[in-house]
Amino acid sequence: MKVLVMGAGIIGVSTAWYLAKAGHEVTVLERGEQAALETSFANAGQLSYGYSAPWAAPGVPIKAMKWFFKKHAPFIFRPDGSLFQLQWLWQMYANCNKRSFAVNKERMVRIAEYSRAMLKELEAEEHIQFEGRQKGILQIFRTDEEMAEAKADLAILQEWNTPVRLLNSAMDCVEYEPALAHMAGKLAGGLYLSEDGTGDCHLFTTKLAERCAAIGVKFLYKHHITEIRQDKCLIKGIKANNEWFSAEHYVCALGSFSRPVLKQLGIRIPVYPVKGYSLTLPIADETLAPVSTVIDEKHKVAVTRFDQRIRVAGMAELSGYRIHLPLQRQETLKMVVNELFPASYDNHQTQFWSGLRPMTPDGTPIVGGSRFANLSINTGHGTLGWTMGLGCGRVMADLISGIKPEIDCQDLSLARYI
Ligand SMILES: Cc1cc2nc3c(=O)[nH]c(=O)nc-3n(C[C@H](O)[C@H](O)[C@H](O)COP(=O)(O)OP(=O)(O)OC[C@H]3O[C@@H](n4cnc5c(N)ncnc54)[C@H](O)[C@@H]3O)c2cc1C
């Protein structure tokens, strides 16, 4: 079947890969000059299968209120003038209870674990080099209060059979991340998830796009989609760069921009662009750098090690679609890396970046069909698109091919909001 995939981020490229492997004739329309130049470009690099959980959790609204008044707040709210922003926040708030958390978490773990299996399979077949590391993820705590919360998190992780170790002292943390030794006096302990990994999402996506092209996927870069043509219950074509493209089936994988494009068809998806920031720094002294990812619970910032670089990423800002780079956010990221891993990086070559996480209010992505028989949606991966990309790509391709996916996906489609 002829399939047109909209978007070449981690989600679009993963979908294209599995569609092509299933024998479909695939074309990808992408406005960038190459794959993964938007949200999949410089994320925190965590393959956080163990940490797959919705942000909407019991207690989060109270924490968010406190963050309002902090200088280096992990959560920032700026009214964007839309009713949608408020509706989305309300929907998220409505998910901040024990029952919804359990439902959403189960869905996310289901997808993440499937994604883990897909990455393992792909690595064995394709040997893609993406500066990947399998050295676990360490979350560090400074206060007894944070440790008490960690114990509650530990119970949830254990309930989901996630391999996790509670570290009761700073020295236990230093065992996994030796460069934190100078912080010993400031740390109360940590949580260590041994089975989580790290890797560069941009590198992976561009290399997977090359593999896709090698098996026949056609990438049309610098093609900006502006219009979709419909006829009753079928999509008839997509307009990009003033040219119409048609196929038998269409997949929307436009990340945060899926919502404005689908709105043209009267499809309203609750996906808000939650902005995050990152800094990428070349390593100057390996002995002072992290080994894997360290998550600083106080600031909710992750510091991740790639081969010769460190990526510092975090913050959740609700301020619309603007990707401008306020200096104050850079200061927050620098403050964290300077405290945890001082002198580990070259301060003269920093790359500051922002990206828009395509977030649903329940944290679970939208993977499934739509009211148009030949239009599928694969978006809304929020904070975990790198972690969940391959699994969702495979599920999407199976659904389009008429094959029963290997995981239950009935509750992943847009229908769950109706
Ligand atoms: C600061 C930060 C840290 C993060 N850390 C992690 C992490 O550690 N682990 C993890 O799993 N996830 C992480 N994420 C989330 C992850 O990066 C995203 O979930 C993922 O990149 C989303 O991929 P996507 O393909 O849906 O979107 P995108 O990568 O944005 O891809 C969508 C594509 O559609 C194209 N497009 C959009 N509109 C149009 C149009 N009109 N015409 C043509 N093309 C169009 C864009 O150019 C883009 O290439 C992080 C995100 C941020 C911002």
Pocket test for ligand 1, best of 33, 38, 208, 241 (most atoms within 8 A of CB): 38
- Mean pLDDT over residues 362-384, rounded? 98
Per-residue confidence (pLDDT) for residue 159, from 0 to 100: 82
Tell me the CA–centroid distance for residue 203 and ligand 1, in Å. 13
Question: Ligand 1: does its nearest atom lie under 6 Å from the Cβ of 4?
Answer: no
Task: Please write the tens of the pLDDT for every residue from 84-103.
Answer: 999 999 999 999 999 999 99
Residue 366: pLDDT above 90?
yes
Question: Ligand 1: does its nearest atom lie under 6 Å from the Cβ of 313?
Answer: yes
Percentage of the residues of the chain whose pLDDT score is greater than 70: 100
Residue 62: pLDDT above 90?
no
- Mean pLDDT over residues 56-75, rounded? 84
- Assign 282 a pLDDT band (cuts: 50, 70, 90): very high
Per-residue confidence (pLDDT) for residue 65, from 0 to 100: 82
Residue 265: pLDDT above 80?
yes
- Mean pLDDT over residues 254-275, rounded? 98
In the block, residue with structure tokens 């609750």:
270
Which tokens in the block code for residue 332?
């927050």
Tell me the CA–centroid distance for residue 395 and ligand 1, in Å. 18
Per-residue confidence (pLDDT) for residue 214, from 0 to 100: 98
Residue 274: pLDDT above 90?
yes
Question: Ligand 1: does its nearest atom lie under 6 Å from the Cβ of 162?
Answer: no
- Which atom of ligand 1 is nearest to 223's Cα? 43
What count of Cα atoms within 13 Å lies in the side-chain half-sphere of residue 111?
36
Tell me the CA–centroid distance for residue 186 and ligand 1, in Å. 35
Tell me the CA–centroid distance for residue 187 and ligand 1, in Å. 33
Per-residue confidence (pLDDT) for residue 22, from 0 to 100: 98
Which of 112-126, 149-163, 189-203, 401-415 shows the lowest mean pLDDT across its residues?
149-163
- Assign 154 a pLDDT band (cuts: 50, 70, 90): confident
- Mean pLDDT over residues 114-140, rounded? 97
Tell me the CA–centroid distance for residue 256 and ligand 1, in Å. 7
- CA dist., res. 110 & res. 407, Å (int): 7
Cβ-contact 10, 205 below 8 angstroms: yes
- CA dist., res. 223 & res. 247, Å (int): 16
Question: Ligand 1: does its nearest atom lie under 6 Å from the Cβ of 199?
Answer: no
- Mean pLDDT over residues 300-322, rounded? 97
- Which atom of ligand 1 is nearest to 293's Cα? 8
Task: Please write the tens of the pLDDT for every residue from 38-52.
Answer: 999 999 999 999 889
Tell me the CA–centroid distance for residue 258 and ligand 1, in Å. 11
Pocket test for ligand 1, best of 34, 205, 257 (most atoms within 8 A of CB): 257
Residue 380 CB-density burial (10 A; 0-12 exposed, 13-18 middle, 19+ buried): buried
Cβ-contact 138, 192 below 8 angstroms: yes
Question: Ligand 1: does its nearest atom lie under 6 Å from the Cβ of 262?
Answer: no
- Which atom of ligand 1 is nearest to 225's Cα? 42
Ligand 1, atom 22: closest residue by C-alpha:
385
Per-residue confidence (pLDDT) for residue 319, from 0 to 100: 96
Pocket test for ligand 1, best of 4, 33, 39, 243 (most atoms within 8 A of CB): 39
In the block, residue with structure tokens 């934190």:
180
Question: Ligand 1: does its nearest atom lie under 6 Å from the Cβ of 354?
Answer: no
- Assign 73 a pLDDT band (cuts: 50, 70, 90): confident
Task: Please write the tens of the pLDDT for every residue from 197-255.
Answer: 999 999 999 999 999 999 999 999 999 999 999 998 999 999 999 999 999 999 999 99
In the block, residue with structure tokens 């981690």:
10
All structural domains of the chain: 1-132+198-271+359-418 (3.50.50.60)
Backbone angles phi, psi at 260, to 5 degrees: -60, -35
- Mean pLDDT over residues 157-163, rounded? 85
